[in-house]
Chain A
């Protein structure tokens, strides 16, 4: 196991973790402020990927693809909030899960109607399709570096937004005590709407960025949603910092598990055992991580509310 391989896997883990964070941030904000468990958040990610791929095909411009994806998905989020989420705020978690699960069913079929059942491909911006030499013997795909850069920038921007702006203060006020915030004159419905649309746009950003490196298909939303839920549960639902730590943890553990666990097990067990148990353990690793965290910290690493 060479140090370049480790460095490469660390970068992969960072990239995966940052993308998970973009999606998790929206979900955890929505949960923290609206107290809604929105399982359709993955569908917004899917919408972002599809719109981005379509725009890329038409305009051949990657920047346009990302911007259009964010704007269109933001609008979808706007409609979703006004039509459905608003009504679910006063309901229990069970109704919220089911109501938003219905949105998944609808969204998957709508996407299939528009783009067909076959997976869609999104081409990479040509300028970034090659590898970059990071260290003397470490080549890394330029596009993945871009994902890392954009992910870091978005995380930093989000941090500054929440901690340094007026709107961020309102968001934090709403998250820590909604009733108090209302009494202090925060226009909560507008705040809800803004937060939901922001979350949708972040998910779309992740969808557009990951578009060229994943197969864009129906069901991609549910797949990533589960991972994202694991992130925010580990971090503490509703906590931004928790979502960040949780997403990076999941990103690293998952990547490292897949890359190193099989060969690591070979040191201790027979090769036959290692090669069959390794991949299984790797697939389970993040769920084991989550279960362990919840056993010791039943409300996550950074509980949002006392």
Chain B
């Protein structure tokens, strides 16, 4: 059964309206606290979506995506400590730095295949992790506070709602652009490579360069998400790029639906919400999370979004 495009459109329109209206409705529903929570979900959704781009559409199982996320966050924090709090400088700088890091890591890692690729991306992420731990002037293992709130001329980001809309705007533009990219020739070639690399090579596609570019784009997007998170938390620490953080991003993608347009968004929302709820009831919230993850891996390999969207755009 093919899904109708109509259905998907209704769903995304509904979601968009909800996201837009939420901060306005929240005070009336006594859900003020959740404005900041949804903002965090959106930020992680961007990180997960960027990972979904290479994992789901490019078939690259990268277990080090949190390195780019964390590097972006650290760029914002470091600039802030040096006195640069302008978002329009700090956020693009974070993207550039994370993209450059992804380029270096990608050039080396993409030479390997399969399990080795998983392992080498993991190893590079660990290198970045230990590098930031050893930066004592930026807090070392404890992390560091931003010097002050991030600024955009004309907007007051200290206001919860304003910052929410800025984040929503950035995330929507990125997700929309990535989806366009997937439809474009570049994205189609990337998916072709996922299905059969040697065939694409034989057809004359520059396979390595396509994969590398996709890897860099995903890294830069993750860096942007990290930058947003740094401004959101006003704090960064190396735990952002611990390897379990990379695994969590993969889990979000899998739970949401790998290679599905809104997989990253759905996954981030579900996982962060579950974490929040489980924490209310028990100190042992990893356990039910683990059981859920096992159930999804064993019984619903296409994730939650996949259940609504059988045979969709994969």
Contact = CB atoms under 8 A, between A and B. Distances in A.
Contact of B287 (A94, A110, A226, A280): A110
Nearest to A113: B284
A103 B290 contact: yes
User: Most A CB atoms within 10 A — which of B133, B134, B254, B301?
Assistant: B134
Contacts of B244: 222
B243 A226 contact: yes
Contacts of B209: none
Contact of A295 (B108, B254, B301): B108
Given A93-B118, A101-B251, A288-B127, A109 B286 contact: yes
Contact of B120 (A113, A284, A291): A291
Interface string B270-310: 00000000000001101101110110011001000000000
Nearest to B127: A287
A294 B251 CA distance: 27
Contact of A95 (B127, B247, B284, B297): B297
B215 interface: no
B251 A98 contact: yes
Contacts of B116: 233, 237, 294, 298-300
Contact of B131 (A102, A112, A237, A280): A280
A97 interface: yes
Interface residues of B, number: 42
A95 B284 CA distance: 24
A99 interface: yes
Given A98-B254, A222-B244, A283 B111 contact: no
B247 A280 contact: no
B114 interface: yes
Chain B contact surface mostly: helix
B127 A229 contact: no
B123 interface: yes
Contacts of B115: 31, 37, 93, 237
A105 B290 contact: yes
B247 A101 contact: yes
Most buried by A among B55, B114, B118: B118
A233 B119 contact: yes
Interface of A is mostly: helix
A3 interface: no
Contact of B286 (A88, A106, A299): A106
Interface in A31-64: 31, 37
A105 B289 contact: yes
A84 B122 contact: no
Contacts of A261: none
Interface string B137-163: 000000000000000000000000000
B179 interface: no
Interface of B: 55, 61, 63, 108, 111-116, 118-120, 122-124, 126-127, 130-131, 133-134, 136, 243-244, 247, 250-251, 254, 258, 283-284, 286-287, 289-291, 293-294, 297-298, 301
29 contacts: A31-B115, A37-B115, A37-B118, A93-B61, A94-B61, A97-B63, A97-B118, A99-B294, A101-B293, A103-B290, A109-B284, A112-B284, A222-B243, A226-B126, A229-B119, A230-B119, A230-B123, A233-B119, A237-B115, A237-B119, A280-B130, A283-B130, A284-B127, A291-B120, A291-B127, A295-B108, A298-B111, A298-B112, A298-B116
Given A105-B293, A294-B120, 7 more contacts: A103-B290, A109-B284, A112-B283, A222-B243, A230-B123, A284-B131, A299-B116
